[in-house]
Amino acid sequence: MGRYHIDITTRTFHFKEPAGTSRGVYLTRVSRFLHLTNDEMPGIVGVGECAPLPKLSCDDLPDYDTVLRRHCDDVCARGGIDVDSLRDVPSMLFGLETAWQQLHGGGSVALSDTPFARGEAGIPINGLVWMGDFDTMSRRMEQKLEQGFHCVKIKIGAIDFDDEIALISRLRNSYGSERVELRVDANGAFSPDEALERLQRLAAYDIHSIEQPIMAGQWDQMARLCQSPPLPIALDEELIGVNTLDYKRRLLDTIKPQYIILKPSLHGGMAGCREWIALARQRGIGSWITSALESNVGLNAIAHFAASEYGPEITMPQGLGTGQLYTDNIAIPLAIRGDKLWFVP
Task: Please give the positions annotated as active site.
Answer: 155, 263
Quick one: which H or E segment has residue 191?
Answer: none
Which of 164, 161, 141 is closest to 151 using CA atoms?
141
User: Which neighbouring-strand residues pair with 26?
Assistant: 19
Q: 3-class DSSP state for residue 113?
A: coil
Of 277, 315, 298, 290, give the one whose Cα is nearest residue 237.
Answer: 290
Sign of CA dihedral 195, 197, 202, 208: positive
Nearest residue to 64 via CA among 102, 30, 97: 30
Task: Please name the helix (run of DSSP H) or strand (run of DSSP E) that holds residue 322, with its range, or none.
Answer: none
Q: How far apart are CA 267 and CA 188, in angstroms?
A: 17
Q: Which helix (H) or strand (E) holds 266?
A: none
Alpha-helical runs (H) found in the chain:
64-78, 90-103, 134-146, 161-174, 192-203, 219-227, 245-255, 269-282, 296-310
Report the SS3 class of residue 50.
strand
